[in-house]
A and B are shown apart, each in its own frame.
Chain A
């Protein structure tokens, strides 16, 4: 019953050692600061934590192994999530957001039982027509259609309210960012017939246009109903464009023709935190500039410099 926890114990002992306790203490400290923040960003934090756990579960590659070889696999996954959530959730009990403790744990309770990797085989042929041969969006939208519809509708319905639509919109954008976690084969990459710089620019242009299509109307309605927020709404959109640009750059910086998955979770989390902690903004810019240069260099192994 505790095989999964045993594996985690060995992994943490081997990879982190004492550092594990330092990270737990840091996570608890940051969590307390966020939930106790005077600008009341606790609900944002809940949304982000929920998204991160959801995203982790959705993308983890050991589910098939765990389900096949471990007894009561879902209970084991559930226990793992509940325990790893504690350093973040316990601090909210000491703030005005005490109820978020229960929201988070209830949400995490459900995750292993959600059939996130649903085996539906609907092709939704309109997706092919809308996105033509943009395989990143065809595949991403097809995989996340229900989440995208729910989040965009939620953002639209809540758009006259303060902050709430931004949480929904932020989660929507994050689902779009997750499209870039999958690598294409080298043949697909080369099919673009673009140079590394051209490829990076065209992917960014295409991505920005698509997120703007959903973000702009909602931010506009929100700004009309809440004129004091228009500056923040502009910053929100600009920052999301920066995250998108960085996500694309990070993907191609670490792209390898033999790996189907791109892993840049830690940098992405720092980028996301930068939306709420302005001190991290320069770091986000540095990440982008560094990653873009790295991506262009790495792509030169797969694409001709001039086309």
Chain B
């Protein structure tokens, strides 16, 4: 169980996350949804320890979360220049004994001898995912994992996420594209106004689209019809 109590994070004295109290089941896939600026990335950064909250505690199974237990796959990562994909992967210790670099690179269609700077955005993302799969981490955080991936890679990633979950990993996914989350997540949590306002289970996912994006859709339609 990942328990968050009284979490408060502000940036330049402006609260970004406010009084968050929530528990996430271990070994589950959790989707995090919310409009742009709702604090999804900030929440992940606080969870990963990159940002220190002003207040609150985050405990994983009643113990402090260690950074070495977290795999963080961000929306847009950067890579060292003039490194090949193979050299990049060699930096990461192989603590997942089942990890087969060649097989996975083949599935993901990644030429390992190529310089990473010649990779497309999607390929870079897949390479980053491989680097994290090489290690035996407890908690996987995917920030917008489906952006920039082709249909095949998207499918592969969804399958990888399911497989990780079957191996007992706890997974968090933030995504603007919510459709892939429906088939994957055990729970989807709505982040709005600096806090989690509601959690959805598979049986009420149809409400999700309406409640999360309905208000925004209405506003968008009204504004556009007046402005164009």
Question: Using a CB–CB distance below 8 Å, which chain A residues touch chain B?
Answer: 121, 123, 128, 132-133, 135-136, 138-139, 142-143, 182-188, 190-191, 193, 257, 260, 301-304, 307
- Shortest A261–chain B CB gap in Å is 9
Known contacts A143-B82, A191-B93; A138 and B50 CB within 8 A of each other: no
Known contacts A133-B91, A187-B72, A191-B92; A304 and B77 CB within 8 A of each other: no
Q: Is B163 an interface residue (CB 8 A)?
A: no
Known contacts A121-B115, A302-B50; A185 and B68 CB within 8 A of each other: no
Point out the residues of chain B lying under 8 angstroms from A302, CB to CB: 49-50, 67
Point out the residues of chain A lying under 8 angstroms from B92, CB to CB: 187-188, 191
Q: Is B217 an interface residue (CB 8 A)?
A: no
- 6 closest Cβ contacts across the A-B interface? A260-B78, A142-B82, A191-B92, A133-B90, A139-B82, A185-B77
- Shortest A140–chain B CB gap in Å is 8
Q: B81 and A139: CB pair below 8 A?
A: yes
Point out the residues of chain B lying under 8 angstroms from A135, CB to CB: 80, 83, 87-88, 91
Q: B83 and A139: CB pair below 8 A?
A: yes
Complex CA–CA separation, A143 to B115 (angstroms) = 12
Point out the residues of chain B lying under 8 angstroms from A303, CB to CB: 67
Q: A128 and B78: CB pair below 8 A?
A: no
Point out the residues of chain B lying under 8 angstroms from A142, CB to CB: 82
Point out the residue from B49, B77, B87, B128 that lies within 8 Å of A128, measured CB to CB.
B87
Point out the residues of chain B lying under 8 angstroms from A182, CB to CB: 80-81
Complex CA–CA separation, A132 to B87 (angstroms) = 9
- Shortest B43–chain A CB gap in Å is 15
List 4 additional contacts besides A138-B82, A191-B92, A191-B93; criterion CB under 8 Å: A123-B115, A183-B78, A188-B88, A307-B68
Which residues B135-187 have CB closer than 8 A to chain A? 135
- 19 residue pairs from A and B, CB less than 8 Å apart: A133-B90, A135-B80, A138-B82, A143-B81, A182-B80, A185-B79, A186-B50, A187-B71, A187-B72, A188-B92, A191-B92, A191-B131, A191-B135, A193-B93, A301-B49, A302-B49, A304-B67, A304-B68, A307-B68
Complex CA–CA separation, A255 to B71 (angstroms) = 19
Chain A, residue nearest B52 (CB): A301
Complex CA–CA separation, A138 to B84 (angstroms) = 10
Complex CA–CA separation, A184 to B72 (angstroms) = 14
Point out the residue from B51, B83, B113, B131 that lies within 8 Å of A187, measured CB to CB.
B131
Q: A138 and B68: CB pair below 8 A?
A: no
- Shortest A251–chain B CB gap in Å is 13
Which residues B38-92 have CB closer than 8 A to chain A? 49-52, 66-68, 71-72, 74, 77-84, 87-88, 90-92
Complex CA–CA separation, A142 to B50 (angstroms) = 31
Q: Is B195 an interface residue (CB 8 A)?
A: no
Point out the residues of chain B lying under 8 angstroms from A260, CB to CB: 78
Point out the residues of chain A lying under 8 angstroms from B83, CB to CB: 135, 138-139
Point out the residues of chain A lying under 8 angstroms from B67, CB to CB: 190, 302-304
Q: A139 and B80: CB pair below 8 A?
A: yes
Q: A301 and B78: CB pair below 8 A?
A: no
Interface string of B86-102 (1 = CB under 8 A from A): 01101111000000000
Point out the residues of chain A lying under 8 angstroms from B72, CB to CB: 186-187
Which residues B100-121 have CB closer than 8 A to chain A? 113, 115
Complex CA–CA separation, A88 to B92 (angstroms) = 46
Chain B, residue nearest A131 (CB): B87
Point out the residues of chain B lying under 8 angstroms from A186, CB to CB: 50, 72, 74
Q: A184 and B80: CB pair below 8 A?
A: yes
Complex CA–CA separation, A186 to B50 (angstroms) = 9
Point out the residues of chain A lying under 8 angstroms from B52, CB to CB: 301
Q: B51 and A301: CB pair below 8 A?
A: yes
Complex CA–CA separation, A186 to B68 (angstroms) = 12
